[in-house]
Structure 1
Amino acid sequence: MTTQNSATEADRALKAKHRAMWAQGDYPSLAAEVIPGLGAVLVEACGVRSGQRVLDVGAGSGNAAIPAALAGAEVVASDLTPELFEAGRRVAGQQGVELSWQEADAEALPFGDAEFDTVLSCVGVMFAPHHQRAADELVRVCRPGGTIGLLSWTPQGFIGRMFATMKPYAPPPPPGAQPPPLWGDEDHVRALLGDRVTDVRAERRTVRVDRFETPEAFRDYFKERYGPTISVYKSIAGDSGRTAALDRDLVDLARDGDPGPGGVGGLREWEYLLFTARRAG
């Protein structure tokens, strides 16, 4: 019993840390300014339509949930970090749609079995630390024959490489936690979902990002607004040498593959995996 209680307390502490990480900075503005169209890509791939009940897991400020509502679906936007909802409610109001916003842990969703026609997540559920738990929940709340749709950064794409760049500077992950970009690996996602899904479609695509004129502009923007980057810098704040080294490494990452004067190489094209499937049964 003591071991189980300790594990539960450790999990609560980890989730509190994740919530705080995403609440810092300004992820809603980053999502709106850098990747505004990704949610709509996922909604279209899932075939969301009027009359469906849709759950967005790790919804953030609603990049996928709002397009789903615009398609006529009844939408629940869920996220571990409800601090992100205010911006989403504002955008939804401006676009004239209503949806529900609910605080929820992707690894323990507060919804009934087979409650939704479509369960989707746009660069959201990939940040749940325990991948199998999260995958099990995606399947559980989707009705048989319903659609599960995921859009995740790939390990070899720009954001996956950014996480690899930051890893040496970050505190070691807790036992059992897995790297977010693994959700961008088709084989990994297939293994997580197993034979509980059919009609799998997986495609690696890129989104063009024209927000940053220089590698330094990218680094400074993410240092200010992106929770995971902010957290890594906070963890080394007392070491000026390591902070300067991370500064250099992020600039080098953005400069890698520079196509010429004024170009920033891979910073222009961010690869993601678009994965859809139907729940079997």
Structure 2
Amino acid sequence: MTGSRVLDVGTGSGPAALAAARAGATAVGLDREPGLLRLAGDRARDTGLGGRTRFVAGDATALPFATDSFDVVVSTFGVMFAPDPARCAAELVRVCRPGGLVAVASWTPDGVMGRIAPTVTRRLPAPPSGPVPTRWGDPEHVRPWFAPLPVTVRTRVCGVRVAYPSVAAAVRVFENKPGPLRAHRAALEAAGRWTAARAALSSLFAEHNTATDGRLVWDVPYLLVLARVGGTAPRA
């Protein structure tokens, strides 16, 4: 990783970009949320990584970078929320140099993270428009997006442990997160349906809890997509 140029798309508060910088790369984090970008910049300065990181506002469907700008392009649970997934896939590949690697991690539809949005949106007065984020967690959807591109793709399902102090704490985190869920909450509040949706969210969280000490602990599956640009398939 030392000396590599890394782009983190949908960086949020910057964890992947900061991890890359910590490993010796020069990292750029991109997101549409100004508040999250400010937080990412603060974290970089506080950890002494400000010289190795840069955070910019931008759109995953039209990345503001030249072709072949990066050695590695990653997205950890970020690009899955962008519109037009096929165009996003093309943009990730475009800005990655030949021989470079595109790596995308996305929640699978069957895990607790993948079930959060359906638990909430089924209570909306009208179904939400736009692409379904968890399609990035299904190889049957992902492969056609990358098929026309100059890449060799492998996928595998991985898992990560996620913990919160309690079920109630997790509900507070998710209902206030920037992104689609916050927009759904506003629509449900306007329709007088948020209380029921919030209770359903709490029940979903408790159903998947593996802790017995009052905390909330999940073992959550995600799909890892590895795309080698113009080369042989990466190990999955």
Match of 1:141 in 2: 95
Query: For residues 176-187 of structure 1, what are the structure 2 equivalents within 5 Å?
Result: 177-187=130-140
Match of 1:280 in 2: 230
* Structure 1: tracts of 5 or more residues without a match: 1-48
Match of 1:126 in 2: 80
Match for residue 154 of structure 2 among 191, 198, 201: 201
Q: Distance in 1 between matches of 2:8 and 2:209?
A: 36
SS of corresponding position for 2:163: coil
* Larger relative helix fraction: 1
- Letter of the 2:100 counterpart: G
Query: For residues 58-69 of structure 1, what are the structure 2 equivalents within 5 Å?
Result: 58-69=10-21
Structure 1 stretches of at least 4 aligned residues deviating more than 6 Å after TM superposition: none
- Letter of the 2:123 counterpart: Y
> What is the RMSD of the two structures over their aligned residues, measured on CA atoms?
2.2
SS of corresponding position for 1:113: coil
**What TM-score do you get using the length of structure 1 for normalisation?**
0.74
Match of 1:268 in 2: 218
1:107 aligns with 2:61: yes
Match of 1:11 in 2: none
Q: Distance in 2 between matches of 1:131 and 1:182?
A: 9
Query: Residue 247 of structure 1: CA displacement?
Result: 2.0
Match of 1:88 in 2: 40
User: In percent, how many aligned pairs have the same letter?
Assistant: 40
Query: Residue 208 of structure 1: CA displacement?
Result: 1.3
SS of corresponding position for 2:176: helix
- Letter of the 2:141 counterpart: H
Query: Residue 262 of structure 1: CA displacement?
Result: 5.3
1:190 aligns with 2:140: no
1:172 aligns with 2:127: yes
Query: Residue 264 of structure 1: CA displacement?
Result: 8.1
Match of 2:27 in 1: 75
Q: Is the 8 A contact 1:254 1:264 kept in 2?
A: no
Q: Is the 8 A contact 2:165 2:214 kept in 1?
A: no
Match of 1:221 in 2: 173
1:156 aligns with 2:156: no
Match of 2:234 in 1: none
Deviations 1:57-87 (A, max 9, x none): 1111211111111111121111122321111
* Structure 2: tracts of 5 or more residues without a match: 232-236
Cα 1:86/1:257, change in 2 over 3 Å: closer
Query: For residues 34-73 of structure 1, what are the structure 2 equivalents within 5 Å?
Result: 49-73=1-25
Query: Residue 140 of structure 1: CA displacement?
Result: 0.9
* Larger relative strand fraction: 2
Query: Residue 235 of structure 1: CA displacement?
Result: 0.5
Deviations 1:82-127 (A, max 9, x none): 3211111111112211212111110011111111111111111111
**What TM-score do you get using the length of structure 2 for normalisation?**
0.87
Q: Distance in 2 between matches of 1:220 and 1:85?
A: 21
